[in-house]
Amino acid sequence: MPDWLRLALGTLTVFRVPAPRVVNSHVAARAMLAAPFVGVVVAIPAALIVWIIPTFSGLSATSSSVAIAALAAVLALTAIAALTRGLHLDGLADTADGLGSGRNGADALAVMSKSDIGPFGVVTLVLALLIDVTSLTVCITAGRGVLALVVAVVLSRAGLSLACRRGVPAARSTGLGATVAESVTPAAAVAVVAVVIILSVAAAYAAGGNGLAIACLLAGLGGLLGGLLLLRRCRSRFGGVTGDVLGAIVETIMCLALVIFAVAA
């Protein structure tokens, strides 16, 4: 197994793989460019849950069926959290604490490095999960839950390619952020994001025609825009990216993509 795949799987999933023999900028770049494709591995089990539970329960537009859709949404999101060790959710909470502290630079990073989760992190985590569950439930009841979930998960990992592009420094000299920061060329990052969006829109068109394809495009662009805005804010406050910031960007893109899928399709 090549080192870049070991780094990508070992960092972005719960799967046990041998540690990379060498970790340099080349290995880090390929790992982050592979992130959306590793996301497929995470998305498939969750998508099966979204498909199996409503299908075998005879989902229809009734109150009990909405409850079944909500159950499927909760279980699917739980599967994603389990398959990623909750790493991105932890990053979202820590980043919220850092931003909410009102501090900048090293002082904000010190807040983020604490082992406990502060009030800003708790509130952000609860609200994000509620939005995820509600949005995915709407998508499931509308018959587009599998597509929405897979696109949101894969697209959110594509955001890592953009966040690790050259010109976006690491906020710390150690840690995951320092390992992958500025490793990806802007051209390669844009190319990976473009491929993900094109494939997602094509799948949406095949599944539901123009309307669903447009909703998918809006979800992709809107999710990525939200992730880039968060990245800009974190660069301003922390001086660059950290592993926590990268996790927060993943969760932000996924959340926004699900919301747009729920209201636009």
Task: Give the 3-state secondary structure of 39-101.
Answer: HHHHHHHHHHHHHHHHHHHCCCCCHHHHHHHHHHHHHHHHHHHHHCCCHHHHHHHHHHHHHHC
pLDDT at 249 over 90: yes
Note the pLDDT tens digit of each residue in 168-177: 999 988 888 8
* pLDDT tens-digit map of 24-73: 889 999 999 999 999 999 999 999 999 988 877 765 544 458 888 999 99
* Phi, psi for 107 (deg, rounded to 5): -65, -40
pTM metric for this prediction: 0.93
127 Cα distance to chain centroid: 16
Nearest to 237 by CA among 99, 129, 119: 99
143's tokens = 């018959």
Please state, in angstroms and rounded to a whole number, the distance separating the CA atoms of residues 134 and 163.
27
On the question of pLDDT at 18 being above 80, the answer is yes
pLDDT digits (tens, 9 = 90+) for 163-215: 999 999 999 888 888 899 999 999 999 999 999 999 999 999 998 899 999 99
Q: Domain ranges for the chain, please list them.
A: 3-14+22-264
**What is the rounded CA–CA span in Å between residue 69 and residue 218?**
23
